[in-house]
Amino acid sequence: MNSNEPLAFRMRPRTLEEYVGQEHVLGKDKILYRTIKADRLSSIILFGPPGCGKTSLARVISETTKYKFYKINAVTSGVADIKRVIEETKNFMLNPAGKSILFIDEIHRFNKLQQDALLPYVENGTIILIGATTENPYFEVNKALISRSMVIKLEPLTTENVYTILKNALTREDGLGEYNIKIEDETLKKLAIIANGDVRTALNGLEVAVLTTNMDADGYIHITDEIIKNSVQDRKAIFDKNGESHYDNISAFIKSMRGSDPDAAVFYLARALNGGEDPMFLARRIVICASEDVGLADPQALVIANSAMQAVHMVGMPEARIILSEAAIYVALSKKSNASYLAINKALEDVKTKETGEVPMHIRNAPIEDMKKLGYHEGYLYPHDFPGHYVEQQYLPDKMVGTKYFIKDENIDG
């Protein structure tokens, strides 16, 4: 064991049997398990949050395949590194199989030119590509590479998965097995919960706790809840304000308000704030929801949302969290109507696609007296001159008479 290597590195699985988690793709009856076991792997793109086991899975493949295995990182590598791998792969003296596996970590960091350099060799089978990314590959990876690869989504490890790996780390010789450690199962489970699916965070925290705690008189290193709390960062949020999780979270936030679930709305609001989302961005989303989804069912929602946005701008964090919470809860609890949203969308579609005709002459503007001689404003009926301040007259162009845009629903009063 090289004790200079971090525990998280030493605990990476060497075989499929040691791999913990991702049963949905690595169960014994699943295609990925079977192709790795049979060494019949085709190109794959692995994507999932940090610490879910993408690199560990690549390491398992490297230990089981008969093909030469190369690993590069997209942050520090370029086209020259790809060409070197291709040349060595095609050199019969260096690689009699004529095929190799290339693992590219953070493949989304490769630009289009670098990804295009891979394409012909993936297509003809010279290279079996394993790409790993925390970003959605459908947005970040060349569509031609995607079409020639299996795209496999790895989920965050469950608390039970992380707990199992931590238990193994305490006993394995290449883990912490050489130390006399006493730690309650409940304390270990709390560490697994704090890690929030990121096993690297959990193992790093456990290692810090062990290496910075003195041995007691009984010959054991006692790890308590308090030691764990001081050895690991706060619970990690699976949130990247520039990545896919940003869009997923904001979508869930809006849909929760639209769906009248204040608890879910506040939850996704908290996730966004904890992940560093711009409070003004969140305030604007609440304003939009107040108009699009609440609308005329409760016009006061837009007033409150707009006031909240101004208050957030003036106050800033951390107090802005309270203002955002109040506005989001109000919008979530409001009666809903999208009649205004549907009306303007339908009207815009007609304006863009139909011959809608001209504004009727009697409701045209006539700032100059001579224009009235041409029929401008002629025959206009001023509603306030009539009982109830209303009079029947045509407002739509002749070609649009009878068209209905606003359909009043049961949640709109009056």
pLDDT in tens, 344-392: 999 999 999 989 899 999 988 888 877 887 888 888 999 999 999 999 9
Give yes or no for a contact between 104 and 78, defined as CB atoms under 8 angstroms apart: no
State residue 392 phi and psi, 5-degree precision: -75, 125
Which of residues 132, 153, 174 is at a domain's end?
Answer: 153
Query: Is residue 170 domain-shared with residue 200, that is, in the same domain?
Result: yes
Residue 196 structure tokens = 């929030």
pLDDT in tens, 243-292: 556 788 899 999 999 999 999 999 999 999 988 888 999 999 999 999 99
**Which H or E element spans position 301?**
helix 300-315
- Cα–Cα distance for residue pair 93/125, rounded to 1 Å: 19
DSSP secondary structure of 28-63: TTSHHHHHHHTT----EEEE-STTSSHHHHHHHHHH
Query: Is residue 147 domain-shared with residue 183, that is, in the same domain?
Result: no
**Which H or E element spans position 150?**
strand 150-153
Q: State what percent of residues in the chain have pLDDT above 70.
A: 96
On whether residue 411 sits in a domain, the answer given is: no
Query: Is residue 29 domain-shared with residue 55, that is, in the same domain?
Result: yes
If you search the block for the tokens 């050199």, which residue do you land on?
Answer: 91
If you search the block for the tokens 């045209």, which residue do you land on?
Answer: 364
**Domain hosting residue 394, numbered range:** 339-400
Query: Is residue 63 domain-shared with residue 149, that is, in the same domain?
Result: yes
- Cα–Cα distance for residue pair 188/193, rounded to 1 Å: 9
For residue 263, give the CATH number of its domain.
Answer: 1.20.272.10
**Model pTM score:** 0.61
Query: Is residue 79 domain-shared with residue 182, that is, in the same domain?
Result: no
Query: 10 Å Cβ neighbour count for 53?
Result: 27
Residue 328 structure tokens = 């989001």
How many residues are recorded in the chain? 414
For residue 367, give the CATH number of its domain.
Answer: 1.10.3710.10
Which residues face 224 on adjacent strands?
none
**In total, how many domains does the chain have?**
4
